[in-house]
Amino acid sequence: MTPTTNRSSVDLADKRAARIRSLATDLASPDPTVRTKARRALVAIGKLAVPSLIGLLSHRKPHVRWEAAKALCGIADPLTASALVNALEDRDGDVRWLAAEGVAALGRDALQPLLAALLEGSKPSWLYEGAHRVCHTLVKRKRLGPILRPLLAALKQSEPEVAVPPVAYAALSKLRKLS
């Protein structure tokens, strides 16, 4: 590779990174049209935008977290699974809803981080609600149904923080055997 080619590659990467930063900043715009346009552009960029979007899941403004979660759902990269599982505990219900959609869309790729989070016990009820939504969606899949039905039942218990961890552990063990 010549120095000119090398410099061109670096320039292109710098321009792409600057574009991603600019679009990520636009997600905080008060104008919904600007936000939508930026989100769609970030989804089109794809996996290269994922680190910036994951960082925005902890932004102080709920609409920025919502936009980031919506973009991550659109990108559907398995590497976002842990971040989307964490977003199931967001203080904003709309962000939690999108995070659950994203986790469910990732399917089996997102189950390990979800089950690991459920193993910890004493989690906010929001996590259990999101996990219920994810499991309700994924239980219909032939190979996942037998693993997730007991977890879905445990999530419906009056004290899921007690009922869920042992069932999540069993589900994680079964999931690992499928691999």
- How high is the pLDDT of residue 3? 54
* pTM score: 0.89
Residue ending a domain, choose from 75, 102, 130: 75
| Half-sphere CA count of 164, side-chain side, radius 13 A | 26
Residue-range definition of the domain harbouring residue 39: 1-75
Residue ending a domain, choose from 75, 106, 141: 75
- How high is the pLDDT of residue 121? 64
Burial class (CB in 10 A: 0-12, 13-18, 19+), 154: buried
- List the pLDDT tens digit at each of the 179 positions of the chain: 555 556 666 777 789 999 999 999 999 999 999 999 999 999 999 999 999 999 999 999 999 999 999 999 999 999 999 999 999 999 999 999 999 999 999 999 999 999 999 998 667 789 999 999 999 999 998 889 999 999 999 999 999 999 999 999 999 999 998 87
**Do 62 and 139 reside in the same domain of the chain?**
no
**Do 118 and 70 reside in the same domain of the chain?**
no
**Do 4 and 71 reside in the same domain of the chain?**
yes
**Do 104 and 68 reside in the same domain of the chain?**
no
- How high is the pLDDT of residue 173? 94
- How high is the pLDDT of residue 178? 82
Q: Which of 34, 109, 90, 99 is nearest to 71 (CA)?
A: 99
**Do 132 and 96 reside in the same domain of the chain?**
yes
Cβ-proximal residues to 1 (8 Å cutoff; 6+ apart), any chain = 9
**Do 173 and 106 reside in the same domain of the chain?**
yes
**Do 98 and 138 reside in the same domain of the chain?**
yes
**Do 70 and 86 reside in the same domain of the chain?**
no
Q: Which of 116, 153, 44 is nearest to 53 (CA)?
A: 44
Residue ending a domain, choose from 51, 75, 99: 75
